[in-house]
Structure 1
Amino acid sequence: MARESSRSRSRDRSIDRSTELLERARELIPRAAQTNSKSPAQFVQGVSPTHVERAEGCRVWDVDGNEYIDTVMGLGPNMLGHNYPAVTEAVEDQLGDGTAYSMPHSLQVDVAELIVDTVPCAEMVRFGKNGNDMTALSAKLARAHTGKDVIATQGYHGWPDVFMSAGPLNRGIPDAVGDYTESFEYNDIESLERIFEDHPDDVAAIVTTPVNLSAPEDDFLERVREIADREETLLVFDEILTGYRYALGGAQEYFDVTPDLACFAKGISNGYPLSALAGREDVMRTIEDDDFIFSMTYAGEAASLAAAKACITEQIERGDVHDHIWRQGRAIRDGYNELAEEHGVDHLTECVGMGPRPNATFEDGDGADANLLESLFMQEAHKGGVLFAGSHLPSYSHADEDIEEMLAVYDDAMGVLAEAVESGTVESSLEGKPVGASLREQLGEED
């Protein structure tokens, strides 16, 4: 059945219920959301929805009943798709037997075995609930195992003090913590070498995302592995986003570079709260030492473990999950860029990144600010029925027709963007507050 055009859908669209919930949320919840990337400030208030009601496959419905193709999939966890049948059934079956027990559930062993069987670096596994749990544990464990103090870090690894202390978001962290955290740049091996020059024999771990929007260059990952071996330092891959997304064994399998430890979360349980640290047995057994502690009440919660077992098993049995994600991501990226060129705005916006994670970027130009360009494009995408937020994290549930519909909406949005740029009306074309506006600004109050 043919779908109505994005512009005809937008005429009947309302976000009244979203607006009401936002007004209530700002009185009760700091930033009005539990996750910064999902907060109202990340969207165009007055146009974008603020709260969702339900989701199925690659689609979500907001609290006003508007339907969207989801491009972000909960920031990546729903890799198979929202409410994916095999995962939902496994969780429902487990709920009948309970979720939190006074002793470990057998699923802990089952899921640990699956991770060891699929992840190159995995010899032992510990579970948590969030990516933060695992990145913080990796740093603490590296220090305990090596007897060294400094953490060399690249990329975003959540909000633990050990990683935030060296950056701009360090309020509330004692200065002394930052003395033992040093940052380096991706694809810049010299910036990593300088850390070892400044802290000889005292770097416990190199913690890095194995791939960002740009692929590794000049054997970057291999050279990082060589430095870790040379300096007797642990190499930790933050695979919170890349794990089970780039390949069954994560980015370490895809790039054929094996770390000593790896952090997982978003790809292992399809939307249920579970994370894992996997790695070398000798390193992981340091957790057993009498003077080391890592313990969480809910780390072995059975419903999420059931989801993880079903999620990983589905990837193994289907066999084409990762090929599908790569293919759909490339189609989004290439289709977006073709549309930008057709509309003459390819100098202002481009979709970059590898297949599993294409990301739309915007640049200042033609008298228009990049943030306003992104806000206008987002506005039109949301009105057209695509939950656009810049980053795209395709799922196994994104069918060819969904990508075609997404690109049709992007075609309309790109046309509006091009017209506004040509006429100099980008800012005045916005029907709400741009991305980044404070909550008070969004609600029409003075900040």
Structure 2
Amino acid sequence: MTPHPPNPLPDVTVIGIGADGWDGLAPASRDALGAAHVVIGGARQLALLPEVCDVERVAWPTPLRPAVPVLLEAHRGRRIAVLASGDPMFYGIGRTLTEVLGVPPRVLPHPSSLSHACARLGWAVEETEVVTVVGRPLGRIAAALHDRRRLLVLSAGADTPADVAALLRDRGFGPSRMRVLERLGAEDERCVEGVADGWDLPPGDALNVIAVDCRRAPDALRLGAAPGLPDAAYEHDGQLTKRHIRAATLGALAPAPGELLWDVGGGSGSIAVEWMRTHPSCRAFTVERDPVRAGRIARNADRLGVPALRVVTGAAPAALAQLPTPDAVFIGGGLTAPGLLAACWDALPVGGRLVANTVTLESEALLAEWYRRRGGELVRLAVAHAVPVGGFTGWRQAMPVTQWCVTKSSDRSSGPIDLAPDPDLSPGAAT
């Protein structure tokens, strides 16, 4: 019996369309729509097509992502045109279709909202930071706030400008100039502007982007782009990896774009937060057994611009069992909990990094044994701060931190190492 050939991929063309609708489409885009058997898109995009474009129209249902493969399969064997706002590969449906199909579809882009906005403002595209809050938390804007930087926010609706203004005021950027550009590319496009501190404009058109000239208030805490944020940036109960040790720890963890961190013994979440701040695509899970501290971690993450940080409330190592494979693991507390270090080591793939910090002799002995068996680098970090001594100034030494950092390699995979647990050591001790 001759086997049936596999079904061909759906015939899909993705067409970008702007607020100027049919009139703004290039000839190739119009031809693709004319040749389609069915057009799929959002209700707003479909409404931009004139009646002369006589083709079956199907609106995306909500939620969209699960519906994509279903609709493509339902129209297999037909020529499918998918409408998208602007450039389909710029925070658009093009990425989702590529993931579903396994290959890139034919894409006919239109100028994106970024291109339109920068053209109106005279901003260089390559020097403009872009953050979308469409289907994403507003708090992620905070990671992009730096004095005198230009920021473009892709809006979720008519209320977003007021929400952005409130966030700017709360994060110490109230003096920032805001411009709301509505219906870019349409004949009735509009721009309104003001300052975040005094923003009181009523909601306008839902189709808008927000341009922000970032200005930090003189008394606002300065947050740089490198690891080692001021300790005052965090809400904490004393369980915080202090600034200088934190910077050294992030240097040892060496985050790279797209990588995933396990932060075990979350404390205040500072290591996971600053891991994620190094690049928008960095991801992290932080594990903290104390529910009060877990809630504090979530607040710190939102305030510092990484609300996507995943907080797992539970005790390690049991709480690690269902987490995805990490690229790096940081252990900031609970090192002598039975099986914890072994579980973290076993979870790492070859090439993954593990960094562990401790201030106790018991945990230091454990790290020394793992260092002897696995290699890596064992260091002691000491920091002293200048403090008043009578009418003079002297040094106050902080507790030294022993740090083990190692990259897992295939030739260092000998059996487990563990010592007796220290019942007085909290798993949330350091981060």
Q: Shared fold (TM-score greater than 0.5)?
A: no
Using the size of structure 1 for normalisation, the TM-score is 0.27
Q: Which has the higher helix share?
A: 1
* Structure of larger gyration radius: 2
Q: Which has the higher strand share?
A: 2
